Amino acid sequence: AGIRLRDLVRLAKIRWRIEHDYRELKTGLGLTHFEGRSWSGWHRHVTLVSAAHLFLTELRLTSPKVVGGG
């Protein structure tokens, strides 16, 4: 009840960004494609997918025309 409209809008935008990134991780980078059985294999898979996502995010922020964002 005591939250400012500005803060509420900021939080709503953060939620949208998280949902968008998660969808990109699943559909574009293969987060859900792991079919192994070991913890270490799953951990490697998630780490590589996260690194790929970081790379694309950095590329998108520094060179938007390369990734198609501009």
Condensed to tens digits (0 to 9), the pLDDT of residues 12-61 reads: 899 888 999 999 999 999 999 999 999 999 999 999 999 999 999 999 88
Give the type of residue at 46. V
Residue 34 CB coordination number (10 Å): 14
What is the model's pLDDT at position 39? 95
Residues 36-70: b if buried by 16+ CB within 10 A, e if exposed: eeeeeeeeebeeebeebbeeeeeeeeeeeeeeeee
Write down the pTM of the prediction. 0.71
